Amino acid sequence: MQDLSIPIAAQISMQRLFIGYSISLVIGLLLGVLIDRIKYLDEALSPLLLGVQTLPSICWLPLAILWFGLGEESIIFVIAIGSIFSISMAVVSGIKHVPPLYIRAAKTMGAKGLRRYTSVVVPAALPSIISGMKQGWSFAWRALMAGELLTPTSGLGYVLVMGRDLHDMNQVVGIMIVIVIMGVVTDRLLFGRVEHAILCRWGLSKS
């Protein structure tokens, strides 16, 4: 019998979310950089990324189940695929909108190739990249809930389904509140601090 306690369910869900989001973060950042660096990939993949991003995460679940079966791998795959594309698009957009003045200044100071890219271009694009990471995190949460709602596994989504099946409104509303609180806390403690540090670094913070 599955444990329906909310703390245990929250811990299981966060572990899945951390693994899936970490995978999407690595792949999304690398893909975004490659698309920006290689013109052919930019022309071929940029429109495709925009189209695939509009696909709801739940649409990937049948494919995940066919590939991995009903289990952890399916849920983690859906989480990763649900946020990869938003992160990649944010990286591409952020790099493309780096002010040309920064590039010219870097060239004047002798920064070339990879050094110019890592020292000037990527740091200047960080505000946009962080925004994409936050958006990817929200997509990862939605993908997690889709996976846990439709697969017979433990987690917050599973407890939510049990509350529905038992007609327990308190349990359903309680899980929804827990999800909102976890999302707000994560944004404040992680993304909020990182974003504030970057804005201060670039002199864009009001405080």
Domains and CATH numbers, the chain: 15-152 (1.10.3720.10)
CB 103 within 8 A of CB 67: no
pLDDT computed for residue 27 by the predictor: 92
Q: Is there a contact between 178 and 10 (Cβ–Cβ < 8 Å)?
A: yes
**Lowest-confidence region among 43-47, 131-135, 203-207:** 203-207
pLDDT at 142 over 80: yes
In order, the DSSP letters of the chain are: -----HHHHHHHHHHHHHHHHHHHHHHHHHHHHHHHH-HHHHHHHHHHHHHHHTS-GGGGHHHHHHHH-SSHHHHHHHHHHHHHHHHHHHHHHHHHTS-HHHHHHHHHTT--HHHHIIIIIHHHHHHHHHHHHHHHHHHHHHHHHHHHHHSS--SHHHHHHHHHHTT-HHHHHHHHHHHHHHHHHHIIIIIHHHHHHHHHHTT----
- Looking at every residue in the chain, the average pLDDT score rounds to 81
pLDDT of residue 89: 87
- The predicted model gives 81-88 an average pLDDT of 88
Distance CA 88, CA 82 (A): 12
Q: Contact at 8 Å (CB) between 189 and 196?
A: no
> Which DSSP letter does residue 38 get?
-
pLDDT of residue 26: 93
Q: Measure the CA–CA gap between 60 and 126, rounded to whole angstroms.
A: 29
Alpha helices by DSSP H, listed for 151-204, are 156-165, 169-186, 192-201
* ∠ Cα 75 185 166 (to 5°): 55
- Is there a contact between 138 and 57 (Cβ–Cβ < 8 Å)? no
Model pTM score: 0.81
The model's pLDDT over 172-185, given as tens digits with 9 standing for 90+, comes to 888 888 888 888 88
Token pair belonging to 124: 């200047």
